[in-house]
Amino acid sequence: MGDQPTAREDYDKLRRRVLWTFPSGLYVIGSRAGARRNAMTANWVTQVSFEPKLIGVGIEKPAVTHELIAEGGAFSVTTVSREDRAIVRKFTKPVEVDAENGTLNGFPFHDGVTGVPILDHAPAYVECEVRHAVDLGNHTFFIGEVVDAGFQADEATEVLRMEDTRMNYGG
């Protein structure tokens, strides 16, 4: 890395491209505080402990999801079927909730044991209660303990990964 501004910019771009090659999954994170519900596309999701079973999710501070997880103390993580890849683009903005018909942006959902929404289309889900919230600059890493998990489709359903799309996040 050089000291010149262009060398710095080139390095920033290179570093981003390197980070974009890191493989990751794609998920929808459900959150809720009182009557407010949201669902958001995310790829910064990973298991971080066997015992207890802990899942960490990196959430942008300005996101509605951030507010709802911080307030509600729980979140769901669902996988996305490769056949339902259109879902991912539908959840990159705060959702429109139709509580009466039980839909988020038109997709049917139900509330899990912690009250957070879970998309009915999702092949598999976990629900987590927040145990730690680590402040990391422009994101918070919420670490939750799995309190429920299940399949809603055949266990062999192929799930979407970032590499199946032309999208990137992070870098």
Ligand X SMILES: Cc1cc2nc3c(=O)[nH]c(=O)nc-3n(C[C@H](O)[C@H](O)[C@H](O)COP(=O)(O)O)c2cc1C
- Sites of contact with ligand X (CB under 6 A): 38, 40-44, 58-60, 63-65, 92-94, 167, 169
Cβ proximity to ligand X: between 46 and 49 the closer is 46
State the alpha helices, DSSP H only, in the chain: 5-20, 64-72, 86-90
Smallest separation (angstroms) from ligand X to the CB of 7: 29
43 or 79: whose CB is closer to ligand X? 43
Sheet containing strand 117-119, edge to edge, reads: 97-98, 103-104, 107-111, 117-119
CB of 12 to ligand X, least distance (A): 20
Nearer to ligand X, 53 or 139 (CB): 139
β-partners of residue 81 are 159
Q: Which of 26, 37, 72, 63 is nearest to 138 (CA)?
A: 63
Taking the complex as a whole, how short is the minimal distance between the CB of residue 64 and ligand X, in angstroms? Answer: 4
